[in-house]
Structure 1
Amino acid sequence: MEAHPIYDALDIDLVVKVLNHTAFSPFFTCMIPIFYYFQGARWPDTILVVTLAYTIGVSAFWFLKWYSRLFRNQGSLLFGPPRFDWGDQIVVITGGSSGIGELIANTLAVRNVCVVVLDVNPIVTENYNITYYKCDVSKWEEVEATAKTIVEELGHPTVLINNAGVVQGKRILDLTPADIQQTFSVNTLAHFWTLKAFLPEMIKQNAGHIINISSVAGMVGMAQLTDYCASKAALISLHESLRYELDHQYKAKSFSFAVISALDEQHSQIIYLPFYANFVPFLAIMPSFVRDFGQWLSGCDYSMEKFVKVSGRRPEEGPAPKTNSIEEERAKDD
């Protein structure tokens, strides 16, 4: 069996998580000036002034971030949202038979949640509380019919996770009309169909949770992803517009946009993963050479050169060619 070093799991997100609980934690940093005070430092000693200013700065940052989320959710300064009861939820996940969707479906199922997976392929799982419905979410007629069946058999969904997506990985001149149609139908239009199917009852009940899973590709352009980037940019715009429509037109104050941990908090959030994705929106105001450097550093313009489309293959594309995955290679080593 091949040994794998412990630092295989080390990435920027882990480093940032550690820093958030140490160097950038208000609780941790407030101990620093206190430590120096008991070591004999007195005002206005430089070390005391600097550490106190740093503590105030860190605390102000987290307070503003917390208050911004509270304001976005029309929350109370004194009272938090009620406890989220997972046992009462019916969660619909599009594209839930593989990838991120499958992971979310099985994670929620462990919490004894009633999970509904909409996909063109069945989900392979041992969790009894996952119900699969074959549905091509890119087609309104199928979404509408499936939604009616779900309501009749299980009840009205309370959480909608729009996860379905497809990648062609081709240069713009190599994209066929069918490729482009499929990309926008799955990555963008499908969200309209599921919202039209499940949102009316959520608005009626004035409660619900909507999760739209987009991509950093929707904020920047990347080679061999022209259709994908454009479809995800449209999704980001849809997400933001939906938020304001729910807040100001439908007066639906209880809605939330999040993933599992954020659902527990019941606060509307935009979650950027991995961590560096938080800085992508600022690239638009940077000098072009800074933007190009970031593009080069990430290698995103060349990441699709050996891409092989696996999911979402149309009949005319035939089956996906067999490739040895990392897991298969490790299995051979074992």
Structure 2
Amino acid sequence: MEAPPTPSSFRTDKPLLSLLNIDLLAQVASITFFHPLGAWMLPLSLRTLTFQWHHPPMWGSMLYATIVTVAWLLQSLNHRLAYGRNREFNKSEEVLVITGGSSGLGLLLAQVYGMRGMSVAILDVNEPEVEVRNVEFYKCDVGNYQEVQAVSKQIIEDLGPPSVLVNNAAVVHGKTILDLSVDEIQSTFSSNVLSNFWTIKEFLPGMIEAKKGTIVTISSVLSHIGPKRCSDYAASKAAVRLLHESLAAEVAQYENIKTLLVSPGQISTPLFDGVDTPSTFFAPVLEPVDVAKEIMFAIDSGAGGNLDLPLYSKWIVVMQALPVSIQKLLRWISGCDDAMKNFRGRNSTDKLNGKN
């Protein structure tokens, strides 16, 4: 049996200031100054200090708290109107399928749900990097429809009809357009895009019949901007994002089928090994466990919607509305076009289905 973790187990060699970033500040603000409970603490505190209702600090703080409360309520209403009521989620009755689940983010999701006793199936060309309890592995090139079709029948026979699908499989080559081979371009779109079509075609009918389901699409912040050496990857992720938008519109008529679009920035997985983040403060590298927690919270709560992280990924779409000269300036300031110069990526033995 492993020894329990000690305080030294949680230490990090990173400088303390390197852990500070705009996302951390925004998260603290969202649960304090920009949350109704936190905002209303200010006028209550002033009242305990004998401030009267007509004093400027008192009514000013109450006005601020009212604005924060109204904004919070409008945000909740917007989400409800956009994505409807959350569906019921019962882990004992759910079957989860993860493509590209043998390492990285996909493996982490499989491990946690497997430990929680949920039926989980991994679709990948490579076996999981570590032993995964209570998880079934199905060797499958998800870019090949015939293989997906055959494996889907086996999963339904072994575990039952899947009710949660996480389309996570992806590859990235990190080469210029002229250096990319025809096979590499085809492998990118086969794994990153076509696999989504094949799994949806196989598993969505069962969700409609069972009147419950969640489809998670792992896109990328690069679906909105194409840096150097990312032409194939960025194009594939843009295609996946638009595929998801169409899918969400098509299943909107089914109240208990939810769609979740995840558009993360750089994640510290082997998929983008060697990539230099332009700014650790404004564009922090995400830890897989943090992304997994957000995805799992959405799945467990039966919610649909968009999950954009870190903070800059929520606003990068605005860049497309700016004058081209400003766009070029922002690209230069961010250094995004130089981020891939030291790219190493996965081991060359990983074929079609690299994993996020």
What residue in structure 2 maps to residue 263 of structure 1? 299
Aligned counterpart in structure 2 of residue 30 of structure 1, from 36, 40, 61: 40
What residue in structure 1 maps to residue 212 of structure 2? 207
CA distance in 2, matches of 1:73, 1:315: 37
CA distance in 1, matches of 2:132, 2:90: 19
Q: Offset at 1:280?
A: 1.0
CA distance in 1, matches of 2:347, 2:235: 19
Matches within 5 A, 1:112-123: 112-123=117-128
Q: Give the partner amino acid of 2:149.
A: E
CA distance in 1, matches of 2:351, 2:241: 30
Q: Offset at 1:87?
A: 2.0
Cα-Cα RMSD: 2.2
What residue in structure 2 maps to residue 275 of structure 1? 311
CA distance in 2, matches of 1:107, 1:297: 39
Assess, with a 3 A threshold, how the Cα gap between structure 1 residues 81 and 162 changes in structure 2: closer, same or farther: closer
Matches within 5 A, 1:34-113: 34-75=44-85, 81-82=87-88, 84-113=89-118
Q: Give the partner amino acid of 1:288.
A: V
Q: Give the partner amino acid of 2:299.
A: L
What residue in structure 2 maps to residue 292 of structure 1? 328
What residue in structure 2 maps to residue 136 of structure 1? 141
What residue in structure 1 maps to residue 250 of structure 2? 245
Aligned counterpart in structure 2 of residue 220 of structure 1, from 218, 222, 225: 225
Assess, with a 3 A threshold, how the Cα gap between structure 1 residues 125 and 291 changes in structure 2: closer, same or farther: same
Q: Offset at 1:314?
A: 6.6
User: Is the 8 Å Cα contact of residues 72 and 268 (structure 1) preserved in structure 2?
Assistant: no
Assess, with a 3 A threshold, how the Cα gap between structure 1 residues 191 and 212 changes in structure 2: closer, same or farther: same
CA distance in 2, matches of 1:269, 1:206: 19
Aligned counterpart in structure 2 of residue 310 of structure 1, from 346, 349, 356: 346
Q: Give the partner amino acid of 2:257.
A: F
Q: Aligned pairs, how many?
A: 308
List runs of 5+ in structure 1 lacking aligned partners: 317-334
Q: Give the partner amino acid of 1:298.
A: S
Q: Offset at 1:86?
A: 1.3
Cα deviation 1:165-190 (Å, max 9, x = unaligned): 11011111111111111111111111
Assess, with a 3 A threshold, how the Cα gap between structure 1 residues 100 and 315 changes in structure 2: closer, same or farther: closer
What residue in structure 2 maps to residue 182 of structure 1? 187
* Helix, strand or coil at the partner of 1:161: strand
Assess, with a 3 A threshold, how the Cα gap between structure 1 residues 293 and 60 changes in structure 2: closer, same or farther: farther
Q: Give the partner amino acid of 2:76.
A: W
User: Is the 8 Å Cα contact of residues 87 and 257 (structure 2) preserved in structure 1?
Assistant: no
List runs of 5+ in structure 2 lacking aligned partners: 1-7, 261-294
Q: Which segment drifts farther, 265-274 or 285-294?
A: 285-294
Aligned counterpart in structure 1 of residue 177 of structure 2, from 169, 172, 195: 172
Q: Give the partner amino acid of 1:265.
A: S
User: Is the 8 Å Cα contact of residues 69 and 268 (structure 1) preserved in structure 2?
Assistant: no
Assess, with a 3 A threshold, how the Cα gap between structure 1 residues 146 and 255 changes in structure 2: closer, same or farther: same
Q: Offset at 1:313?
A: 5.0
User: Is the 8 Å Cα contact of residues 91 and 160 (structure 1) preserved in structure 2?
Assistant: yes
* Helix, strand or coil at the partner of 1:172: coil
CA distance in 2, matches of 1:81, 1:253: 8
CA distance in 2, matches of 1:11, 1:313: 35
TM-score, normalised to structure 1, is 0.85
CA distance in 1, matches of 2:207, 2:74: 30
TM-score, normalised to structure 2, is 0.80
Q: Offset at 1:36?
A: 2.3
CA distance in 1, matches of 2:330, 2:70: 29
User: Is the 8 Å Cα contact of residues 217 and 229 (structure 1) preserved in structure 2?
Assistant: yes
- Residue identity over aligned pairs, in percent, reads 36
Cα deviation 1:42-84 (Å, max 9, x = unaligned): 4553323332222122212221221111112333xxxx754x2
Aligned counterpart in structure 1 of residue 150 of structure 2, from 139, 145, 164: 145
Residue 254 (str. 1) matches residue 259 (str. 2): no
Q: Offset at 1:311?
A: 5.5
